[in-house]
A and B are shown apart, each in its own frame.
Chain A
Amino acid sequence: MAEFRPIDVNARFIGIGEYYVGGDAMTTIGLGSCIALILHDERHGVGAMAHVMLPESKGQTDRPGKYADTALVTLLEGLGAFGSRNGSIRAKMVGGANMFGFNDNNLNIGERNIEAVHNALKEKRIFLDAEDVGGKVGRSVIYNPKAGGEIVVRRADGVCAEL
């Protein structure tokens, strides 16, 4: 049974728009429309996570983790410093929900985020290993690059699952 106790875990908290690259466990709580984009390099035992809030940077460069297009590039660069190459990197993603069930374009940022991350991965030829996205549910996620890249996703009702 997968467990998730962010308070107990000594993990780095990735806030909205932030990212981290390295070997430490990392966590993101309460993903709604945002997406946790996770890149794992099994060979080097390192990984990266970004808390993506919006699909496009539109030229903004101050918070690369905030936008789907800049987040992937930045995470790949960061992993490159650990010796990771595109061929050994696999991606997973969590989030992109439509929390209020709106169908108008305005508040359904989640769907646009999913699409933007998919496109960015395709463009960089990064293999998408698994995803837990969409729907109308919040998710918290914890990822430990050292433990075989294990990712645990917890939903609002407390149900935990490995991704």
Chain B
Amino acid sequence: MKLTEIQADALGELGNIGAAHAATTLSQMLMSNIEMDVPAVDIIDIAQFYKCVGDEKVALVVFRIKGEVEGEGFVVVTMPLASAIRMTNTMLGMDDMDREINEMDQSAIIEIGNIMVSAFLDATAGLLGIVMLPSPPALCIDMAHAGMEALIAEVAMETNDVVIFRTNLTSGEHAIDGTILMFLTPEMLGNLLSLLEALTSQGM
């Protein structure tokens, strides 16, 4: 499976709009500026996935994409544990970095993920003229690769390719790094692409 240049650009733009909205919500919550890198859309063979994501410990919040688009897809917010703790500290005005991740951090990560991913899906769905909603969130504090494997098992049941959209968000001021990822089945990718093509043919 390969994307044409036009398809990759269109998907990148779609993700860009979604990520920009997610970044805005994060920026409001942290009351600081958030930098966002250029989103990348890749089609990766599942056997190569370990080259993209390692077994370092992270916080991972996962949402299944629900709504008016056929196929399976997930949106994931992931951050290194130190960033997660700094994020909770920043929001609650604390400065104790020398601690383990606790229940309060976990609730904060879930809630922030929820707000970011809702904004992400709202913006992309709004552009496509459909409804997309996140499922209730699920949290995992563990190896990044291990957390994402269960999602890959869902989206690559019948193929060996997984479509991965990825963009990094950074707060330089608070040294908080996070990544938004989207995993799609080829079916959901195809549906998003046809919606995008219909838009461009209307002279968007």
Residues of A with Cβ closer than 8 Å to B?
6, 13, 15-18, 28-34, 53-54, 60, 62-63, 66, 97-102, 106-107, 109-110, 136-140, 154, 156-157
- Rounded to whole Å, the gap between the CB of A41 and the closest CB of chain B is 25
Q: Is the CB of B157 within 8 A of A54?
A: yes
* CB contact under 8 A between A100 and B153, given known A15-B47, A29-B54: no
A32 touches B47 (CB 8 A): no
Which A residues touch B160, using CB under 8 A?
A: 17, 62-63, 66
- What is the CB-to-nearest-CB distance from A139 to chain B, in angstroms, rounded to a whole number? 7
CB-defined contacts of B45 to chain A, threshold 8 Å: 15
B138→A30 contact, CB < 8 A? no
Among the interface residues A17, A18, A32, which one has the most CB atoms of the partner chain B within 10 A? Answer: A32
Contact indicator per residue, chain B 140-156, by CB within 8 Å of chain A (1) or not (0): 11111111111011101
- Cβ-defined contact, A156 with B55, below 8 A: yes
5 contacts between A and B (CB under 8 A): A15-B51, A32-B145, A54-B153, A100-B147, A157-B57
- Contacts between the two chains (Cβ within 8 Å), count: 108
Chain B contact-residue range equals 20 to 34
> Which of B46, B48, B57, B139: most chain A Cβ within 10 A?
B46
- Tell me the B residues contacting A by CB distance below 8 Å: 45-51, 53-55, 57, 62, 138-150, 152-154, 156-158, 160
Contact A30 B150 (CB under 8 A): no
A30 touching B149, Cβ below 8 Å: yes
The answer to whether B47 and A110 have CB atoms under 8 Å apart is: no
Q: Which residues of B contact A33 (CB under 8 A)?
A: 149-150, 153
Q: Do B54 and A100 touch across chains, with their CB atoms under 8 A apart?
A: no
Structural contact, B54 and A15, CB atoms closer than 8 A? no
| Residue from A33, A34, A98, A100 having most chain B Cβ neighbours under 10 A | A100
Q: How far is the CA of A98 from the CA of B54 in the complex (A)?
A: 18
Closest residue to B60 on the A side, CB-wise? A99
Q: How far is the CA of A138 from the CA of B143 in the complex (A)?
A: 6
When the two chains form their complex, are residues A156 and B142 in contact, meaning their CB atoms are under 8 A apart? yes
Are the C-beta atoms of B150 and A100 separated by less than 8 Å? Answer: yes
Report Cα–Cα, A137/B46, bound state, in Å. 21
